[in-house]
Chain A
Amino acid sequence: MSEVTRKNAGVVPATDIFEMKDGFHIMVDLPGVKSEDLVVDIEESELSISGSSSYAPADNNLRKMHTEFGNNVYQRRFTLSELVDKEKVEAVLRDGVLQLYLPKAEAMKPRRIEIS
């Protein structure tokens, strides 16, 4: 593991990747992350997600009785397929889940070749 990776180490968020007729979808669980604290970058064929959650108790004077979750720095990278049209990737953050839509590139759609 390189030094750079270790320095950036955060939590790897749980992710679903699935294909539908219209293209690929990636769903990333990012509870407590606000859209302004989330960065999604595409660099060449690398898609990187990083975000930090800003969950806070309703009031700091409250007595903690039981704690099972807290704040995290989430980080994850994916290598995009050549099938994906990188220009048309869409991202929506809703109810603490990042939904990425990666449409298939037009040129990559299956095509029958006529035999003459």
Chain B
Amino acid sequence: MVIDFSSIYDTNNDLERFFDEMFRTSAFNLRRSVYPPLNVFESDDGYIVDVCIPGIDPNDIELTITARNLIVKGERKLMEGRYFRQERGAGSFQRVLSLNVPVDRDKVTAKSENGILRVTLPKAEAERQRKISITS
């Protein structure tokens, strides 16, 4: 609506759209308190962490791995210009994820696709499940 400089006769259900968008907008979603949102999966071999960070060049994301923590750090930069609307989050962010099992730091891989970063963290060799054969 802000970018709407069309003639005043062209009302185009603006009011209807206003209410419609207000109730559907992501700002209405109260789960936005932590950024970036992430999903964590576990398999027998390790963890997979998916981080939802659209619009950030993968080279600008800093991933740090300690024995039990994964730290995602970065910055969303604003373009220079005259803003009519600014809804996308901007600024620095950091999120620390604790893992309850040590991971093999040298084998951690990450790739980014369509704004979703996928980090694969294999469990440390000593932590993997092992079948023990019973001898009688």
Contact = CB atoms under 8 A, between A and B. Distances in A.
Does B bind A? Answer: yes
19 contacts: A16-B79, A16-B88, A20-B80, A25-B79, A25-B81, A30-B115, A31-B114, A31-B115, A59-B41, A59-B48, A64-B40, A68-B34, A68-B39, A69-B37, A78-B4, A79-B1, A79-B4, A82-B5, A95-B58
B75 interface: no
Contact of B115 (A12, A20, A95): A95
A14 B87 contact: yes
Contacts, number: 163
B40 A65 contact: yes
A31 B5 contact: no
A17 B102 CA distance: 44
Interface size class of B (residues with CB under 8 A): 35 or more
B131 interface: no
Given A2-B16, A59-B43, A95 B87 contact: no
A16 B84 CA distance: 8
B6 interface: yes
Interface string A16-32: 11111000111101111
A77 interface: yes
Interface in B76-104: 78-89
Contacts of A24: 3
A95 B4 contact: no
